[in-house]
Amino acid sequence: MKVRLKNVKGAKEKIEASSYIIKDPETYKGKYQTLFSQNNPIHLEIGMGKGDFIIKMAKKYPNINFIGIEMFDSVMVRACEKLENEDIPNLKLIKMDAGNIENVFSKEISCIYLNFSDPWPKKRHAKRRLTSEIFLNKYDNIFKDEKTIIQKTDNRHLFEYSLISFVNHGYKISELSLDLTHDDIENETSEYEEKFIKRGLPIYMAKVYKD
């Protein structure tokens, strides 16, 4: 589970001032490519936290456009601070709740990353999990063509739940790891992931897709 930071003074102002932030995301629904200088695929990270993963990915893959969303000012501001002296034309950020994702995107996303999402362990909160049927239905409406989801988590129960949820929703598994740190699979880490690795915890990963 991600540990949320306490309120950060001036966070809202710093976020709004960042050139990477999309301030009125609903107005770009269905036309996010206009924000980038090329017509490359768009990959979306839901719950980007402090931004380590998506910043690394955007630098590594200049031929892919990346958008990260996060609802908490206290962590989003850290990503904005890291980007103050960066020039990454294929990266944009949105401060928003993932539950509103259908209001912001439409048939334009090629891949979704779910990195260390809140596991919502209590059964009564299962619908809030980002791999629940409710969210998978939302993703169906924002994917462009083939649907690809890559999930990483340190929570075994969430991982088990997610695999069942993916298969029930018609997804096929193309990659699977029960110990990503020690498997020969290309991987960019986040700050949360680095903490789990130092503690010797296994990282679970699944890459799933459907036509």
Which positions are catalytic?
Answer: 118
Rounded distance between C-alpha atoms, residue 72 and residue 79, angstroms: 11
Non-local (6+) Cβ contacts of 43 within 8 A are 57, 64, 65, 66, 67, 109, 110, 111, 112, 113
Tell me the backbone φ, ψ of residue 80, rounded to 5 degrees: -65, -40
Q: What is the Cα Rg of the chain in Å?
A: 16
Which of 74, 91, 101 has its CA nearest to residue 15? 74
Size (the chain), residues: 211
